[in-house]
Structure 1
Amino acid sequence: MKNLNSIFPTAISSFLTEGLYRTSIPIAATSLSEDASSVGISIAISKFPWIFVSIIAGFAIDRYSPFSVIRAGALIRFFGLLILSIFLLLGELTFSRFLIISFFMSTCDVAIELSTQASIPASYSSSEIPRANAKIYQTQMLFSQLLAPTIAGILLASGLNLFYISVTIIQLFVIFFAYRCPPRNLQNFPSRSMDGKRFSNSSRDPTLRGMFVVSALMMASYGVWSSSFALYALKINDGLEANTMEYGIMMAFIAIGALIGSELISRHRLHARGFILICLSSICIFLLPISCIFSKNKILIIIMIFIYGISLSAWNIVAVSYRQKFIPHHIFGRINGVYRTVSWGFMPIGALVGAGIVEKFDYQAAFGISALISIFQIFALPLMKNIQRQYQ
């Protein structure tokens, strides 16, 4: 467990920095642009690295080591934050510059998450992988989704300048911990012909194919929903009429649900019932926008967001553990990179679609499209019926 223990300080500090920056994106976007779609566009741009960088990061993980990629990602984020802070201090930060910097800085998120996942199979036995994934996921939710928004709210009250300077300083700790990880280790690739054969065999696995499709639809649905939920929550007379603090609390319940869900799944070994959890996750992503269409009750929406958080942890623990167990270690980075490109790549696409629908119609139409997208999961779910074979 030495590798995983050494990566935890890096992961914790990186998750915190990631959460701080992500929380600031809507605030920075609205201060730099008056366009109604600015928030959706800025969120989408921050997610686009999952499309363009995942495969590159996966190849680098296989070629070098997860820890080398983490260091590179930490440096990219630091210089992005530093440039952002300088532009703000000089009064030269424009919305277009913010989007460009945000894109490059978000590549760090890709590097850290993919590298952390790649380090687990080498650090834990096969039977311990789901518990290790639950621990990593709990850490991410705690620092990125719960603590970071709270700290960001306090720092943002003093202005964007002080906020980004503070986050830049915190990022220095990420770099420090990253360079305390095990030294760079150049790995030996098997022959190209054998590599291609193993890659082809893994990609033909029906469970992985189903996972690709279901995850892509989930991310697209969530992208559309997330780009319109803020308007729905804060809108007067035709929405929840929540204030900014209530909105923050609502979003925090995704992380609370994920924390509780991952603990329950790990403690009671519910991950052994993988297919049932996958089906429940698919149902929850459908019910989330549906509840927003038909209800303006804050308590009900919080409950649905909480349940969605639980389902999110179920999906992550089951799906990630399956990939770690059945994909050969020396090609795991590349296949995981392809998976992230196909699946998570649909989140920014969904966010852009949602932003366009909200601007042309309204948030109710966006929720309807979000629910419609999630319905198509039903055609791919049968491919994943054997996912629990990893526990047999």
Structure 2
Amino acid sequence: MRLFDRKFLTLLSAYTSSNLADGIILLAFPLTAVAFGAEAWQTAVVAACTKVPWLILGLGAGVLGDSVDRLRMAQAAAAARVLVLAGLTWLLLSGSTSLILLAAAALTAGACEVVFDVAGQTLTPAIVQRANLVRANGYVSAAQNTSNEFVGPPLGGLLIGLAVWLPYAFSAAAYALVAVWMTSLHHTTRTVLSSIPEKPSTAANLGEGLQFVYRAVFLRRLGAYLFGVYLVFGVWIGLFVFYISTISALHLNPPELGALMAVSAMGGVAGGLTANLLINRLGEYAVLALGASGWSLYMLGPLISDSFWVVAVLMVAGSALGTAMGVASFALRLLSTPDQLLGRVSSVFRLLTWGSLPLGSLVGAALSVAASTSETMWMATGAMVMLSAVALVAFRGKGRPAQDPGAA
């Protein structure tokens, strides 16, 4: 089966539109908090609210994804996000919004993201042959990074500079388009996605997914590594918008901050498109190990330079290596997991990654009160450098983990 057929292009379009909206509101929420006069720790908490649902709903969403029609699940989540952001738009237009309501909207939108992403991530293997998974995931990652980081943030910064409600209205329209695409895709893939061998209890489902990851040596090691990377990055990124807007010598306004994120996202696009080449040349383990080194460069840039382009170059290089790490880890998880466990294993890893981001941001918020914003960001950068050294020891060679017999 060729890769770029109608089904894959439709799914790719839905991913792109969803991530465009994600990129817009990911920057819009903390910028709105800053516009409301929030302090550093309050801004970090609002930013964390978009990812906190991964800690609460991540595993349950994976069980749901293995028990129901995944396309219906993705459709419902996209529709719910339309309602949430349309409601927030109305509140902002009426002048009735506070930091508490903003955080509540971020939490609700984040909960919808959990359901959509868990369902969406497991759709690719149903549409793409396993021989094309690495290549397909490279294109998906490039599309996601282009829309989420290259187009979304500058568009969000531009929109919020015009009116504080515009980013949320635009994102609501983008999610509506996602729901339409998922509806058109449902009829052509229903038989594949609705094939559920059995439906044991929720507790049994949760336990089976966790046990599978724990018993697989590679998956257990990979999970611990990714948890550390995302936790440390969460400390840094939760304070980034406040730091770059109010403390840094760059002192960027929303459109300028969006432009910096767009330039740095070119590294993510390059990393997604070249991940397969890097894996073939260096091996899966080496690409995984280089991920933390890349994020160390990304985090170091804004702290050591007041030059827009020096910061941008370091963030581009770091994003490229970090994205390649993500593509490698995602493809290897799919190749090491039985089809009937894809949703649960994906949710476990989403819990370890996206769930640790808000946890890190909350830790960063507390540390910024005890110390300072700059000192906290420097501590996080140092911790990422230490993870780079650990990863180079833990992931060596050009091999890949042995496939679990049940995943054949």
Q: TM-score w.r.t. structure 1 length?
A: 0.89
Sequence identity (%): 20
Aligned partner of 1:100 among 93, 99, 104: 104
Q: How far apart are residue 363 of structure 1 and its match?
A: 2.8
Aligned partner of 2:45 among 13, 34, 41: 41
Q: How far apart are residue 47 of structure 1 and its match?
A: 1.0
Say if 1:234 and 1:197 are closer, same or farther in 2 by CA, change over 3 A. Answer: closer
Structure 1 counterpart of 2:195: 187
Structure 2 counterpart of 1:233: 244
Say if 1:186 and 1:279 are closer, same or farther in 2 by CA, change over 3 A. Answer: closer
Q: How far apart are residue 201 of structure 1 and its match?
A: 4.2
Amino acid at match of 1:226: I
Counterpart contact for 1:45–1:102, Cα < 8 Å: yes
Q: RMSD of aligned C-alpha atoms?
A: 2.9
User: What secondary structure, in the 3-state scheme, does the structure 1 residue paired with 2:50 have?
Assistant: helix
Counterpart contact for 2:23–2:152, Cα < 8 Å: yes
CA distance in 2: counterparts of 1:231 and 1:86, whole angstroms: 26
Q: More displaced, 242-251 or 63-72? A: 242-251
User: What secondary structure, in the 3-state scheme, does the structure 2 residue paired with 1:263 have?
Assistant: helix
Say if 1:190 and 1:384 are closer, same or farther in 2 by CA, change over 3 A. Answer: farther
Structure 1 counterpart of 2:322: 312
Say if 1:172 and 1:334 are closer, same or farther in 2 by CA, change over 3 A. Answer: same
Alignment pair present for 1:88 and 2:92:
yes
Q: TM-score w.r.t. structure 2 length?
A: 0.85
CA distance in 1: counterparts of 2:40 and 2:209, whole angstroms: 47
Counterpart contact for 1:210–1:384, Cα < 8 Å: no
CA distance in 2: counterparts of 1:215 and 1:199, whole angstroms: 16
Counterpart contact for 2:278–2:287, Cα < 8 Å: no
Q: More displaced, 287-296 or 330-339? A: 287-296
Q: How far apart are residue 244 of structure 1 and its match?
A: 4.5
CA distance in 2: counterparts of 1:293 and 1:144, whole angstroms: 23
- Aligned pairs (5 A) from 1:1-392: 3-183=7-187, 186-190=194-198, 192=200, 200-235=211-246, 239-267=249-277, 270=280, 273-374=283-384, 375-376=386-387, 378-379=389-390, 382-385=393-396, 388-389=399-400
Query: Can you give the 5+ residue segments of structure 2 that lack an aligned partner in the other structure?
Result: 404-408
Query: Can you give the 5+ residue segments of structure 1 that lack an aligned partner in the other structure?
Result: none
Amino acid at match of 2:353: S
Amino acid at match of 2:87: I
CA distance in 2: counterparts of 1:190 and 1:156, whole angstroms: 47
User: What secondary structure, in the 3-state scheme, does the structure 2 residue paired with 1:327 have?
Assistant: coil
Paired residues, number: 391
Say if 1:379 and 1:243 are closer, same or farther in 2 by CA, change over 3 A. Answer: same
Say if 1:296 and 1:326 are closer, same or farther in 2 by CA, change over 3 A. Answer: same
Say if 1:17 and 1:82 are closer, same or farther in 2 by CA, change over 3 A. Answer: same
Q: How far apart are residue 190 of structure 1 and its match?
A: 4.1
CA distance in 1: counterparts of 2:86 and 2:138, whole angstroms: 33
Say if 1:90 and 1:167 are closer, same or farther in 2 by CA, change over 3 A. Answer: same
CA distance in 2: counterparts of 1:235 and 1:156, whole angstroms: 17
Q: How far apart are residue 298 of structure 1 and its match?
A: 3.9
Say if 1:276 and 1:380 are closer, same or farther in 2 by CA, change over 3 A. Answer: closer
CA distance in 1: counterparts of 2:53 and 2:91, whole angstroms: 22
Alignment deviations for residues 90-122 of structure 1 (CA, whole Å, 9 cap, x no partner): 322121111112111122322333323212222
